[in-house]
Amino acid sequence: MSAPDLSRLTIAVPRGALLGGTLDLLDRLGIDTAEIRANDRKLLFEAAGIVTMRPSDVPTYVEHGAADIGITGKDVLLEQPEREVYELLDLGFGRCEMVVAARRGDDALGEALRRLGRVRVATKYPKIATAHFAETGRQAEIVEVKGSVELAPLTGLVDGIVDLTATGRTLAENDLEVLEQVTVCTARLIANPVSHKLKAEAMDRLVGEIRGEGP
Amino acid sequence: MLPDEMREVRAITEGLRQTFESAGYGEVWTPALEYEEVLRAGDGAASKAGYRMFDEQGHVLALRSDMTIPIARVAATRYRAEGGPLRLCYFAHAYRSVGRGSGQQREFLQAGAELIGVEGPGGEAEVIALLLAALDRAGLARHRIGLGDGALYRHLLSNLEVPAEDHADLLERLSARDMVGLEMRVAQLGLPDSARQLLTRLPELRGGPGVLERASEAAGPSVKGLQTLYAALEDRGVADRVIIDLGLVRDLSYYTGAVYEVYDPAVGFTLGGGGRYDDLIGSFGTPRPACGVGLDVQRVHIARAAEERLR
């Protein structure tokens, strides 16, 4: 029986907004990312020990051990609290705010709450939105959408939205204003619980290098 | 479960049962339905029972979510008069609430062993060696044990004089292994640098016995306990399959000392676990020291199939 290589880590890398920061980090760690930068259709890079995927799939792959470690946003982790993964490090990059926003000027959210005792809120993050309105003592009907959330309040589907924003530009371009900050999200390093023990040495070395403690 | 799967599962449970029986662990059986107050007496959260119902007198019944509490009750009542060590094993279904589509089953088969009336570290060493042998017999080859102490972090918090009202929150973060959240929470305590380092870095220590040498005096009795347990495991010739993990916290509240988990590099989830629960039997009668282990048979089966694919 061939012994599994315990010094080698498979890394789940998020495509999308966190990809640039993630690849820069991997470069600093001496992992060759040229092939990934050159190729945005290929998903599996065996030589580098990297698999690429949507950020929201990273906890799934890491939980099941298909990747030993992964990088994803705190927003993804908050939305999938049932995933059994270890959160090892705040990587600092990819800073975004989770906000409540609504159409500029007409106070649709406040009016719905005053007159109807509840608000309708569209989001791609139903757990985060539900928790936020529950914690602030407001009855909210959460409408889950998959695509551009900004459209929902403009068409009268909902009174407001809960969404992630980095610069606020998309919100402003759609005539939406930020009303409340729910939380701040950055990129996080997560690990599979079993790999965390069985590949402890490789994982500690990586964490140490990211923290700047040197190899 | 159809015949193909059933045959494979039986092969695993027979391997486990033979190992347990030949080591003197007699099989017991208890009902799946327990009075909720019985489960609650063992563990404030009723051991996380997922399903409850009423009998005709309005008593609340719950489907057990693990076997340790029912066996503790049996040990405290049916074996009340017997003084010597008590070795029991079980193969039984337990019940948990699961998310739909998670692939987990609400009813799952547990196999396990409980050693009652033997103090640490001899008790844990016997149970861990038994567990490793039973899994060998069940067809696994690469399984490993993660070993920690459920009380270690609590000792550390008390020794560093962290206010008691902060303990639960810190332990919860450690138990979820939210190390980012733990570090943030520790930073808010306003402790000196050395204490802060200890609280965030000590639970990251895992590996061979060298880990215990690096662990500070601050974790006191827990580290000493783990050292003697590790030595006992060396005597039994199984220490090379044990990984010490100072951050290991099992989330059942009845554990009082050593805790352990079972891993296999072929799969990403734990196969089972256990620990020392010296106060549990006392909740049902005369206190007796005890420790044990439970395995999720389906997970062992998946690990065995995954190991075969890698061969």
Q: For A160-208, how does the pLDDT look when each residue is reduced to its tens digit (9 = 90+)? A: 999 999 998 999 999 999 999 999 999 999 999 999 999 999 999 999 9
Find chain B residues with C-beta within 8 A of A201's C-beta.
207
CB pairs < 8 Å spanning A and B: 68
- What integer pLDDT is reported at residue A213 of this predicted model? 66
d(CA A110, CA A102): 10
What is the reported pLDDT for A39?
Answer: 82
Confidence class for position B290, pLDDT limits 50, 70, 90:
very high
Strands of B173-289, DSSP E: 206-207, 242-245, 258-263, 272-276
Which pLDDT belongs to residue B89? 97
Asked if A1 and B180 come within 8 Å (Cβ–Cβ), the reply is no
Helix, strand, or coil here: B96?
coil
Angle at B194 (CA atoms; ends B191, B199), nearest 5 degrees: 70
Residues A81, A84, A90, A94, CA torsion sign: negative
Compute the mean pLDDT over every residue in chain B, rounded to the nearest whole number: 91
pLDDT at A1: 41
Q: What is the ipTM of this complex?
A: 0.83
CB nearest A1 (choices: B141, B177, B180): B141
pLDDT in tens, B297-307: 999 999 999 99
- Unique residue bearing structure tokens 């060493």: B125
Q: Tens of pLDDT along A101-113?
A: 999 988 888 888 8
Asked whether the beta carbons of B165 and B261 are under 8 A apart, the reply is no
Q: Which residue of A has its CA nearest to B309?
A: A1
- Ramachandran area for residue A92 (φ above 0: left; ψ -120 to 50: alpha; else beta): left
Candidates B136, B144, B172, B177: best to mutate against A (most CBs of A within 10 A) is: B177
Per DSSP, B182 falls in state: H
Interchain proximity B268–A88, CB inside 8 Å: no
* Residue in B closest to A204 by C-alpha: B204
Reading across the β-sheet that carries B52-54, which strands appear in turn? B33-35, B60-63, B52-54
* CA dist B164 → B45, B171, B189, B191, B219 (Å): 21, 11, 12, 14, 17
Higher-confidence position of B256 and B214: B256
pLDDT in tens, B103-137: 778 999 999 999 999 998 999 999 999 999 999 99
* CA dihedral angle for residue A89, residue A95, residue A100, residue A103, rounded to 10 degrees: -160
Q: What is the pTM of this model?
A: 0.86
Q: What percent of chain B has pLDDT over 70?
A: 96
How would you list the strands of the sheet with A160-165, edge to edge? A140-144, A119-123, A160-165, A96-103, A176-185
Whether A56 contacts A78, CB under 8 Å: no
For residue A88, give the nearest of B141, B179, B243 by CB distance: B179
Per-residue pLDDT, B59: 93
Q: For an interface test with A, which of B147, B180, B304, B310 has the most A Cβ atoms less than 10 Å from its Cβ? A: B180
Question: Are the beta carbons of A48 and A89 closer than 8 angstroms?
Answer: no
Nearest to B132 by CA among B230, B232, B239, B206: B239
What was the pLDDT predicted at B97? 85
Q: How far apart are CA A31 and CA A49, in angstroms?
A: 9
Which region among A23-32, A89-98, B45-54, B211-220 has the lowest average model confidence (pLDDT)?
Answer: B211-220
Contact B181 A197 (CB under 8 A): no
Q: Tell me how far apart the alpha carbons of residues A92 and A79 are, in angstroms, rounded to a whole number.
A: 19
Q: Which candidate from B179, B265, B310 shows the least CB-CB separation from A87? A: B179
CB atoms B245 and A197 under 8 Å: yes
Q: Do B144 and A198 touch (CB under 8 A)?
A: yes
Q: Determine the residue type at A162.
A: V
Two structure tokens written together for A213: 């403690």
Q: How far does the CA of residue B144 sit from the closest CA of chain A (Å)? A: 8
Structure tokens at A78: 């908050």
pLDDT at residue B296 tops 70: yes
Q: A78-87, B158-167, B214-223: which has the minimum mean pLDDT? A: B214-223
What is the reported pLDDT for B98? 82
Confidence at residue B216, expressed as pLDDT on a 0 to 100 scale? 63
For residue A181, the SS3 value is: strand
Distance from CA of A200 to the nearest CA of B (A): 7
pLDDT < 70: residue spans in chain A: 1-4, 213-215
Q: What is the pLDDT of residue B85?
A: 94
Strand residue runs (E) in B124-266: 144-149, 206-207, 242-245, 258-263
Cβ–Cβ < 8 Å for B259, B149:
yes
Task: Give the dihedral sign, CA A72/A75/A76/A77.
Answer: positive
Q: Which of A62, A87, A198 sits opposite B265 (nearest CB)?
A: A198
The shortest C-alpha distance from A135 to chain B (Å) reads 18
Tell me what pLDDT residue A106 has.
84
Three-state SS sequence of A75-131? HHHHHCCCCCCEEEEECCCCCEEEEEEEECCCCHHHHHHHHHCCEEEEECCHHHHHH
| A50: three-class secondary structure by DSSP | strand
What pLDDT score was predicted for residue B217?
Answer: 66
